[in-house]
C-alpha cells in the first residue's frame, strides 16, 4: 500500500499494490492551515476520513 504523493512508474507496480489518493485529504489540510483552523478536528468525525482509515487498517 502506498499513496499517490509521488508517482510510481508502471514498471514498479505489482498485482497486490494499492495506491490511495490523498488529494482531498491534503487539500483540506492546506485550506485549514491557511485559514488558521484546526486540521485535526476536520478529520475526527468525517465519514470520508474514517473510510480512508478503514481501508488502511484492513491490510
pLDDT digits over 1-58, tens only?
Answer: 888 888 889 999 999 998 888 888 888 888 889 989 888 877 765 566 566 556 555 4
Q: Is residue 8 included in any domain, yes or no?
A: no
Q: Is residue 35 included in any domain, yes or no?
A: yes
**Model pTM?**
0.55
Q: Is residue 4 included in any domain, yes or no?
A: no
Is the separation of the CB atoms in 4 and 22 below 8 Å?
yes
Which of 57, 52, 59 lies closest to 4 in space, CA to CA? 52
Total domains in the fold of the chain = 1
Q: Is residue 1 included in any domain, yes or no?
A: no
At residue 59, the pLDDT reads 45
Neighbouring residues of 35: CB distance < 8 A, sequence distance ≥ 6: none
At residue 2, the pLDDT reads 87
Q: Is residue 6 included in any domain, yes or no?
A: no
Domain assignment of residue 23, given as a range = 18-59
Amino acid at each position: 500500500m502506498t499513496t499517490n504523493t509521488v508517482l510510481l512508474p508502471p514498471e514498479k507496480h505489482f498485482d497486490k499494490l494499492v495506491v490511495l489518493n490523498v488529494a482531498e485529504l491534503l487539500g483540506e489540510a492546506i485550506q485549514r492551515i491557511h485559514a488558521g483552523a484546526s486540521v485535526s478536528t476536520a478529520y475526527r468525525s468525517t465519514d470520508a476520513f474514517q473510510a480512508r482509515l478503514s481501508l488502511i487498517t484492513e491490510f
